[in-house]
Amino acid sequence: MANIVVDTFVKGGPVMWPILVTSLTAASVVAERAIWWIGTGAKRESKRLEQVYAALEQGDLEKASRQARDTKDPVLQVVWHGLNHHHTSLQNALQVSAGVQIESAGRFLGVLDTIITLAPLLGLLGTVTGIMEAFRFVGSEDLQAIKVSGGVAEALIATSAGLAIAIFTLIPYNYFSSRVAKLTFEIQTAATNVEVLLEAGKKNREANRNTNSIPAHEAALSHSS
């Protein structure tokens, strides 16, 4: 079996070497991204995020910040960064942290995108060189069918290899891109919720202060009378 693979690789011509490099690169990136997403999925803490929302709604900013601290959940990390810098610019802090998390989630996707385009082009290059090799013997006195068929085989092997790598890479690329889009939406939703709940919490605190100050004021009036 190994001999067949090596023999096919050699028959594909010199263009098979860059095709091999692209295939190894694609496999490495897919493996790295799969491990990253599995690890990220295990770090998600949706219940903890709900607790942060509840604390913000109650106006307890310190409790909310404490709940979001020391976590590896990317969404909670964005929330904590925003709460930790709310005194300067909450929105900017959320945007900066969100950008870092999204960039980390989309790491190496550009490499996969390049391979999806590059691999078929390398296969096409192999097709051209293979056909050129076959036509090199056409019209010559020592025309041999085996030499012509060798050039055709080179063209077909290179083309099929390039297309196979592109197909292999396209499926995980689309999957990882969808995961990045989903995480981006979750981070944006969390950031919006933090801004809305933080404002609501401020209003709740003000309302509670006003409610607590009314009885004291009335008691002072009744005492003076």
Q: Are 153 and 130 in contact (CB under 8 A)?
A: yes
How confident is the model at residue 161, as a pLDDT? 95
Nearest alpha carbon to residue 74 among 94, 99, 44: 44
Q: At 108, is the pLDDT very low, low, confident or very high (cuts 50, 70, 90)? A: very high
Q: Residue 154: is its pLDDT beyond 90?
A: no
Cα(12)–Cα(156) distance, integer angstroms: 8
Instruction: Convert the pLDDT of each residue in 1-12 to its tens digit.
Output: 667 888 888 888
Cα(73)–Cα(41) distance, integer angstroms: 9
Give rounded-to-5 percent helix, strand, coil for the chain: 85, 0, 15
Cα(103)–Cα(108) distance, integer angstroms: 10
Angle at the Cα of 196 (from 192 to 199), degrees rounded to 5?
145
Q: Are 157 and 126 in contact (CB under 8 A)?
A: yes
Q: Residue 221: is its pLDDT beyond 80?
A: no
Tokens 């009744």 sit on residue: 222
Handedness of CA 50, 72, 196, 62 (dihedral sign): positive
Largest CA distance in the chain: 128
Cα(57)–Cα(32) distance, integer angstroms: 39
Nearest alpha carbon to residue 49 among 79, 91, 25: 79
How distant, in Å, are the alpha carbons of 42, 70, 80, 125, 176 from that of 120?
36, 46, 45, 9, 21
Q: What percent of the chain has pLDDT over 90?
A: 60
For the whole model, what pTM was predicted?
0.82
Q: Residue 131: is its pLDDT beyond 90?
A: no
Handedness of CA 19, 25, 31, 37 (dihedral sign): negative
Give the start-to-end residue ranges of the domains of the chain.
Answer: 2-224
The tokens for 50 are 């709900």
Q: At 87, is the pLDDT very low, low, confident or very high (cuts 50, 70, 90)? A: confident
47: exposed, middle or buried (Cβ count in 10 Å: 0-12, 13-18, 19+): exposed
